[in-house]
C-alpha cells in the first residue's frame, strides 16, 4: 500500500486561497502527473527549452482551493459536491489548474472505497480525451491512515514545488 499526505499551502502567484496539496509516498502528486504526461505533451508541442518544459510539466496543475472543496472528507472519499462530480465517468478532481480555476485543467481520478482501503485509479485529463487513462497509479491506501491524514493535513508555508511561471496548459 501507498502512503498519502494531505497538505494545506498558499497558492502560488497572486491567488489568495489556501490549496489542498497531495503527496504519495513522499512525492508530490504533480510530479507523478508530470511524469505521466511528459511524452503526451511532447507529441503536441515541439520542445524548445527543456528546463522551461519541466517547469511547465510540474506546474500544469495546482491544488484545489480549501474554500471550493468545502467538505474535504466527502470529496476525497469519492463523494464530491455536485459541481466537482462527473457522473458519466465516476471521477473526482484531485488537482486543479495552476491558474486557480479548478475546472480549467483538472486531474480526475476514480476514488474507490472499501472498509479497509481507499484506491485512486483511472487518472484522466478531461480536456485531452485522446490521452485516455494516464500511466499512473493505481494508488491504494490504508483507509484508517488515509482518513487520519485527511483530518489533520500538514500545513506548509509555501507551495512544496516552489514558485512557477503563470502559464497554464
Write the pLDDT tens digit of every residue in 38-52: 999 888 776 667 777
**In-domain check, residue 166:** no
- Cβ atoms of 6 and 53 within 8 Å: the answer is no
pTM (predicted TM-score): 0.90
**In-domain check, residue 35:** yes
**In-domain check, residue 162:** no
Exposed/middle/buried for residue 51 (C-beta within 10 Å: 0-12, 13-18, 19+): exposed
The reported pLDDT for the residue numbered 44 is 79
CA angle 137, 41, 32 (to 5 degrees): 25
**Gyration radius of the chain over CA positions:** 15
How far, in Å, CA of 17 to CA of 129, rounded? Answer: 30
**In-domain check, residue 52:** yes
Residues of the domain holding 57: 4-155
Number of domains the chain contains: 1
Amino acid at each position: 500500500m501507498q502512503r498519502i499526505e494531505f497538505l494545506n499551502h498558499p497558492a502560488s502567484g497572486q491567488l489568495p486561497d489556501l490549496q489542498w496539496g497531495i503527496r504519495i509516498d513522499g512525492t508530490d502528486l504533480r510530479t507523478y502527473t508530470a511524469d505521466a504526461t511528459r511524452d503526451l505533451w511532447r507529441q503536441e508541442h515541439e520542445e524548445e527549452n527543456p528546463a522551461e518544459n519541466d517547469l511547465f510539466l510540474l506546474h500544469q496543475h495546482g491544488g484545489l482551493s480549501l474554500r471550493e472543496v468545502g467538505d474535504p472528507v466527502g470529496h476525497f472519499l469519492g463523494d464530491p459536491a455536485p459541481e466537482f462530480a462527473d457522473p458519466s465517468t465516476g471521477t473526482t478532481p484531485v488537482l486543479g489548474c495552476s491558474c486557480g480555476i479548478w475546472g480549467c485543467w483538472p486531474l480526475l481520478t476514480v476514488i474507490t472505497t472499501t472498509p479497509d482501503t481507499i484506491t485512486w485509479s483511472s487518472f484522466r485529463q478531461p480536456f485531452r480525451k485522446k490521452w485516455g487513462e494516464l500511466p499512473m497509479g493505481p494508488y491504494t491506501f490504508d483507509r484508517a491512515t488515509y482518513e487520519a491524514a485527511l483530518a489533520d493535513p500538514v500545513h506548509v508555508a509555501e507551495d512544496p514545488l516552489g514558485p512557477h511561471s503563470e502559464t497554464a496548459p
